Amino acid sequence: MTDPLPAPHRPAYLDHAATTPMVPEAVAVLTEMLGRTGNPSSLHASGRAARRVVEESRELIAERLGARPSEVVFTSGGTEANNLAIKGLFWSRHAQDPARRRLLFSAIEHHALLDPVLWLGKEQGADVVTTAVDRDGIVRLDDLRRTIESDPGSIAAITTMWANNEMGSVQPVDEVVAMARPHGIPVHSDAVQAAGHLPLDFAASGLEAMTVTAHKLGGPIGVGALLAVRELELMPLLHGGGQERDVRSGTLGAPLIASFAAAVDVSVRRREAEATRLEQLRARLVEGLVELVPEAIVNGPADPALRLPHVAHVTFPGCDADAMLMLFDARGIEVSTGSACTAGVPQPSHVLLAMGYDEESASSSLRFSLGHTSAADDVDRVLAALPEVHARASAARAVRAR
């Protein structure tokens, strides 16, 4: 797809972990489908045509992600899928057995899962148990094993993300499943960041539920899916027409779903080649950053097998990350801080704090994330701007510290 602006004038976009531009194939499908009419639940010809699109898309997504079509439950995105998974599991399991009150989750979950879990603890009587992570942002399996074995009958569900959105660290999902299976404990994984970058096979994983979303792998914003085994009982969040196995009511958006399927297809087919390309770009970026700023610290696992190929999380001691972000942005370079904002109030990243970093380090970190539109020129522009950006951000921090 042709860039709307020449390379020197278009942004150097290094925030693909937040959202990635749509791939041309997904754009083409969405554009064509938006001209059609039909509610997939209607029985007339237009409705049946829309239903056919939805079901063919469901089959394609299922095939590419190692699931059965009946296991694909469409949602509005990753946040809804995570909420459906954890709330639906807790309410269903707790209703069947009031003793099942515990929810186990890792300390580095995305707010789309962290917040509903904490809400269940505050408002619904769940006993929330956090599993610690190591300095690389990987779940401590010994801690998790002790928690499970201390009272397995009280656990409603376990959730562990597949790959962390800030650090890129890949979690030992298969080992978590192996610990839970003998006790009949369902495991959910937020695979939003992993989809399209790591090999995902829902059936082989042994998970009961897995979250994916379209806009992180080249599809449109506003559509995602919860992959859930047929046997899993989920209490719905939404009640209405009974669509999607009666666990997610609402009119299905055939254009969004078809575009989602196209993006999944493209990202899975190109995954290996693209992972190699992005790993090389990441290496070029990281080597350049450390050469220009020797005190910079590259966070997360050094072993490529333990991290996503497209994410680099870097701490710049003595710098204000928000200042660096804005200085980069003024130069047409778009990156992300390692902090989260709640109600407009900047807060240190809970991920870095869980990994053992102090608040100063957490507020001095940037995330650079690459994607299918990234090229060597984007990396070169970051490295060309870095010396001045770093110098000015360091000076600003020094002035405030006086």
Structural domains in the chain, sorted by start: 12-22+271-401 (3.90.1150.10), 24-269 (3.40.640.10)
pLDDT at residue number 341: 46
- State the Cα–Cα distance between residues 102 and 117, nearest whole angstrom: 10
The answer on pLDDT for 17 being more than 50 is yes
pLDDT at residue number 338: 59
- State the Cα–Cα distance between residues 54 and 261, nearest whole angstrom: 9
pLDDT single digits (tens) 85-111: 999 999 999 999 999 999 999 999 999
Taking the alpha carbons of 229, 235, 238, 241 in that order, is the dihedral positive or negative?
A: positive
- State the Cα–Cα distance between residues 169 and 325, nearest whole angstrom: 22
Helices (H), 124-182: 141-150, 173-180
CA-closest candidate to residue 126, choices 150, 88, 91: 91
- Torsion-angle region of 203 (φ positive above 0: left; ψ -120 to 50: alpha; else: beta): alpha
Give the mean model confidence (pLDDT) for residues 105-133.
96
Class of residue 318 by CB neighbours under 10 A (exposed 0-12, middle 13-18, buried 19+): middle
- State the Cα–Cα distance between residues 17 and 336, nearest whole angstrom: 9
Mean pLDDT of all residues belonging to the chain? 93
- State the Cα–Cα distance between residues 364 and 318, nearest whole angstrom: 7
pLDDT single digits (tens) 183-232: 999 999 999 999 999 999 999 999 999 999 999 999 999 999 999 999 99
Residue 231 CB partners (closer than 8 Å, separation 6+): none
Question: Where does the pLDDT of residue 12 fall: very low under 50, low under 70, confident under 90, or very high at 90 and above?
Answer: very high
- State the Cα–Cα distance between residues 217 and 219, nearest whole angstrom: 6
pLDDT at residue number 391: 95
Percent of the chain predicted with pLDDT > 90: 90
pLDDT single digits (tens) 286-335: 999 999 999 999 999 999 999 999 999 999 999 999 999 999 999 999 99
Catalytic residue among 1, 326, 341, 391: 341
Question: Where does the pLDDT of residue 362 fall: very low under 50, low under 70, confident under 90, or very high at 90 and above?
Answer: confident
Question: Where does the pLDDT of residue 402 fall: very low under 50, low under 70, confident under 90, or very high at 90 and above?
Answer: low
Question: Where does the pLDDT of residue 345 fall: very low under 50, low under 70, confident under 90, or very high at 90 and above?
Answer: low
Does the annotation count 341 as an active-site position?
yes
The answer on pLDDT for 363 being more than 50 is yes
Per-residue tokens: 141: 């399996």
CA-atom Rg of the chain in angstroms: 22
pLDDT at residue number 206: 97
Question: Where does the pLDDT of residue 348 fall: very low under 50, low under 70, confident under 90, or very high at 90 and above?
Answer: confident
Give the mean model confidence (pLDDT) for residues 243-266.
96
pLDDT at residue number 400: 66
Give the mean model confidence (pLDDT) for residues 362-385.
96
Give the mean model confidence (pLDDT) for residues 140-160.
97
The answer on pLDDT for 349 being more than 90 is no
The answer on pLDDT for 381 being more than 90 is yes
Q: Which residue has the tokens 């669509």?
A: 243
pLDDT at residue number 401: 63
Percent of the chain predicted with pLDDT > 70: 94
Instruction: Determine the 3-state secondary structure of 252 from DSSP.
Output: coil
The distance from CA 97 to its chain's CA centroid, rounded to whole angstroms, is 31
Counting runs of H as helices and runs of E as strands, what totals does the chain give? 13, 15
The 10 Å Cβ neighbour count of residue 9 is 9
CA-closest candidate to residue 247, choices 72, 102, 61: 72
The 10 Å Cβ neighbour count of residue 119 is 15
- State the Cα–Cα distance between residues 283 and 286, nearest whole angstrom: 5
How far from 257 is each of 41, 56, 61, 225, 238, CA to CA, in Å?
Answer: 14, 10, 10, 9, 19
